[in-house]
Amino acid sequence: ASEHINPAIAGDTVLYFRPDASYFAEGYDHLAAYFFVGGENQFVNLVEHQTGVYKVTAPTPAAPGGWEKVIFVSLKSATNAWEVDGLTNVLKQTPDLIYDGTKDMYDTTLGAWKTLGSLVSQTPTTAGISSEKVRIWVNRGGHYATEGYQYLLKAGDVHYTATGYEKALVTDDVYFAYFDVPLSALTGKNVDLVIVDTNLYFQVAVAGGPYAAQDNSKLWVVKQNMDETYSVTKGAVEGRIYNTFFAKVLEGYLTCSTSADNGYEAFNLVDTNFLPRAGEHWDMQGDLGGEHGVKIADYTSEEDYATGVREATPATDAYAKYVMMKSLYDAAHPSPEQFRINKVANNNIIYVLVIGMLFAIAAFGFVRFRKKANVA
């Protein structure tokens, strides 16, 4: 007869364990799983599967139907035993656990079984733009925008953590998330957003679609659709912004680079999408430059664009950076009116030069005539 009163753990079943820090306290040697059914039992060591997650394959018991329960345990010595020399060998252990056949990972922080696939592995980001990196801004739109959740930028199969959050909109003090990521990681891939809880378990997918050139120079806004799914729209900021936010946007561009992704060739999109207007004036709270303006950490030379090394202390006037980028962009893209003015100016210069030359020739001829007259 079977020993089971609960669902079985068959031989070769793969289980995962996500322990909290207490399982690695002083005295820790290794992790093991203790399988048992009736009077039969067996310890098996766990191996690390990914950061913070450990894996074990269940042995096959003699009893038909498999193991009834499992205990994950942190042991103090290399010996797989509850006691060694009459002293406890256990640092920490779980309760007797019943596997339901579907949720394959036990999480001690939650005290519950989860699925390994619902745990999202993250790739950290580092702050700062270089010739190889761009900055993407996300307005969460009030969706899962609390401390209980975090947004990840999913490029292909890689989930990037948010680099930071910046207070952007004056109304309700809305914070935007931003991601400093390699441009090569975005190009040619679907780039979406993924929302996880504080324990990094998947909650919601936000469809972003294929990454298009210069998408980083648009604000990504999370929207809830009629069918209760979520997606991203890419466009301009709406509402009054803080000066510190726009300065942070400017910090994500290389002033003297010709790049259309993160150089001055992107200025027109930056100016359109991140600097709202109220009539003819900027819809901005606070000064961008000057005595009461914002200082940002910028590059001291173009040679630093590749390394990403910036000023140790923010010392660049944000408005001065804005003006420089605008000047370089305008010089590279003169308007038809400016072209007409330049053409007229050039023509006037030519006319003046021609008249000057004619005057010089006439004067020279007059001088020669006078000399001849004097000789005669």
Structure tokens belonging to residue 327: 């000047």
Q: What sign results for the dihedral spanned by CA atoms 219, 222, 223, 225?
A: positive
Q: What residues contact 173, with CB distance under 8 A and at least 6 apart?
A: 167
Judge whether 20 lies within some domain: yes
CA 363 to chain centre: 72
pLDDT digits (tens), the chain, 376 positions: 445 556 689 999 999 999 999 999 999 999 999 999 999 999 999 999 999 999 999 999 998 889 999 999 999 999 999 999 999 999 999 999 999 999 999 999 999 999 999 999 999 999 999 999 999 999 999 999 999 999 999 999 999 999 999 999 999 999 999 999 999 999 999 999 999 999 999 999 999 999 999 999 999 999 999 999 999 999 999 999 999 999 999 999 999 999 999 999 999 999 999 999 999 999 999 999 999 999 999 998 898 999 888 999 999 999 999 999 999 999 999 976 654 544 444 455 455 544 655 555 555 454 444 444 444 4
Q: What residues contact 86, with CB distance under 8 A and at least 6 apart?
A: none
β-pairing, 219-224 vs 230-235, is antiparallel
Same domain, 312 and 223: yes
Q: What residues contact 19, with CB distance under 8 A and at least 6 apart?
A: 31, 54, 72, 74, 92, 108
Q: Which domain does 167 fall in, by range?
A: 133-332
Nearest Cα to Cα of residue 311 among 299, 325, 321? 299
Same domain, 302 and 206: yes
- DSSP per-residue codes, 283-307: -EES-SSSTTS-EE---SSGGGTTT
Same domain, 106 and 23: yes
Judge whether 49 lies within some domain: yes
Structure tokens belonging to residue 68: 């009834």
Judge whether 233 lies within some domain: yes
Nearest Cα to Cα of residue 136 among 26, 43, 249, 289? 249
Return phi, psi of residue 343, to 5°: -65, -45
Same domain, 169 and 242: yes
Beta-bridge mates of residue 114: 105
CA dihedral of 332, 333, 338, 343, whole degrees rounded to 10 = 60
Same domain, 210 and 301: yes
CA 365 to CA 376: how far, in whole Å?
17
CA 204 to CA 211: how far, in whole Å?
20
Total structural domains in the chain? 3
